């Protein structure tokens, strides 16, 4: 089942770059990616951001994944630009970059003690990291 979802997400990311601009004026960025995630370790991907754009970061998890923790970090300074845990694990964030820089998106699944005891809990899987941008 995970292979099926991975193939579908890959196809989505391939075709998404050819979609016209979204109603808010955002267009999909070619830096979108599929990322394998679990509860034991963080997965990381680097994204190049320009100060000329506003960026929308969106996480689309596999079916069954309950909570995804993602942070956007400036890797050179280790400054956390955004942490979705502070906003109830929301899966979307729009940022207006003040400077051109490479950011690291760090993603991990969240599990409570109760989750780990639940036989239906999904402790690993895939998420799509969709990145959109528009000019300021």
Q: What is the pLDDT of residues 52-110, one digit of tens each?
A: 999 999 999 998 898 999 999 999 999 999 999 999 999 999 999 889 999 999 999 99
pLDDT confidence band for 24 (50 / 70 / 90)? low
3-state DSSP assignment of residue 112: coil
Top-level CATH class of 2-135? Answer: mainly beta
Q: Where residue 13 falls among pLDDT bands split at 50, 70, 90? A: low
Closest CA to 27 of 136, 131, 101: 131
Give just the sign of the alpha carbon dihedral 105, 4, 29, 59: negative
Look at the alpha carbons of 31, 32, 33, 39 in this order and tell me if their dihedral is positive or negative.
positive
Give the pTM: 0.78
**Under a CB-based contact definition with an 8 Å cutoff, are residues 16 and 28 in contact?**
yes
Radius of gyration of the chain (CA): 15
Average pLDDT score over residue span 20-33:
73
């Amino acid at each position: 089942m995970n292979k099926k979802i991975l193939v579908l997400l890959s196809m989505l990311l391939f075709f998404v770059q050819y979609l016209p601009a979204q109603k808010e004026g955002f267009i999909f960025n070619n830096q979108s990616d599929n990322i394998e995630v679990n509860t034991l370790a963080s997965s990381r991907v680097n994204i190049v951001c320009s100060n000329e754009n506003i960026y929308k970061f969106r996480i689309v998890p596999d079916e069954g994944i309950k909570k995804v923790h993602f942070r956007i970090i400036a890797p050179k300074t280790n400054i956390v630009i955004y942490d979705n845990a502070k906003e109830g694990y929301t899966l979307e964030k729009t940022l207006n970059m003040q400077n051109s820089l490479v950011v690291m998106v760090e993603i991990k699944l969240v599990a409570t003690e109760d989750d780990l005891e639940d036989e239906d809990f999904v402790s690993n899987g895939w998420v799509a990291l969709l990145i959109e941008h528009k000019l300021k």
